[in-house]
Amino acid sequence: MLGAIAGDIVGSVHEWAATKTKEFPLFTPQSTFTDDSVLTVAVADWILTGKDLVDLLHTYTDAYPGRGYGGMFRRWATARTREPYNSFGNGAAMRVSPVGFAFDTIEDVMTWAQRSAEVTHNHPEGIRGAQATAAAIFYARRQQDKNRIRESLESRFGYDLSVRLDEIRPTYRFDETCQGTVPQALIAFLESSDYEDTIRNAISLGGDADTLACIAGGIAEANYGGVPTDIADRVLGALDENLSATVKQFRTRFACAG
């Protein structure tokens, strides 16, 4: 999950910049964690403690206001609503990475990914996006052959992952939907050479940069054996004590520290 948070922080300054290049500094003085990181940690807390996920999402949003939450989610959390709102936004996929690391069968991954999504994003596309992201992490933990990972994801989720980034990039625009974000993030990972290259691929599409890099970053962490130390140290230093403590606890319990 640290790979997802790192992607979010690196991507935070590119979210509205329509960056169409892989040449940029990974960190700037303005780099910070957004709602992607906050809600990823909330999902990790849910898995670690068994607390009610709706309560946790409400609590974390209240504790970290102004972090770029989507309008529908922000209203849901602020009102302490308990019913989902049929969203197919990419928020379901951006927060799900802990599920892919925590469970050891694809059946459990699919079940927990759906549970993590449907408290808010109960639209079929919202659920599919969360499940595809978590499944990609699960497959990447076990399989280094990206062609086999691609085939497994295409077969299970019906996404076309054969398109190249160079074909996507020229016309791709900011898209907050799962169906307009998850396949592109998966391709950013599939075309990468290492963790950092994954993040640069995702951001270079010029879309919802922090979320694209968050989704792709979790998968890259699983596939490449962790997050490079220099990046991991910067990311943990950017989190406050409460968030970093949960991240460290999760990584220790589920042996995903690299």
- Of the candidates 6, 35, 41, 33, the one whose C-alpha atom is nearest the C-alpha of residue 249 is 41
In a domain, 258, yes or no: no
In a domain, 123, yes or no: yes
What is the phi/psi pair of residue 177, to 5°? -90, 155
In a domain, 219, yes or no: yes
Per-residue pLDDT tens digits for 212-236: 999 999 999 999 999 999 999 999 9
In a domain, 199, yes or no: yes
Q: What is the mean pLDDT of residues 16-25?
A: 97
- Of the candidates 170, 201, 163, 164, the one whose C-alpha atom is nearest the C-alpha of residue 14 is 201
Report which DSSP code applies to 174. -
Residue 227: its H or E element: none
Give the tokens for residue 109.
């991954």
Helices and strands counted in the chain (H then E)? 15, 0
Angstrom distances, CA of residue 109 to CA of 97, 132, 142, 231: 10, 10, 13, 27
Q: How far apart are CA 106 and CA 114, in angstroms?
A: 12
pLDDT-derived band at 46, boundaries 50, 70, 90: very high
In a domain, 111, yes or no: yes
Looking at every residue in the chain, the average pLDDT score rounds to 97
Write down the pTM of the prediction: 0.97
CATH of the domain at 186: 1.10.4080.10
Full domain range(s) for residue 93: 2-253
**How many domains does one find in the chain?**
1
In a domain, 127, yes or no: yes
Give the tokens for residue 153.
């994801």
- Predicted pLDDT at 256: 63
- Predicted pLDDT at 143: 81
Per-residue pLDDT tens digits for 107-146: 999 999 999 999 999 999 999 999 999 999 999 999 879 9
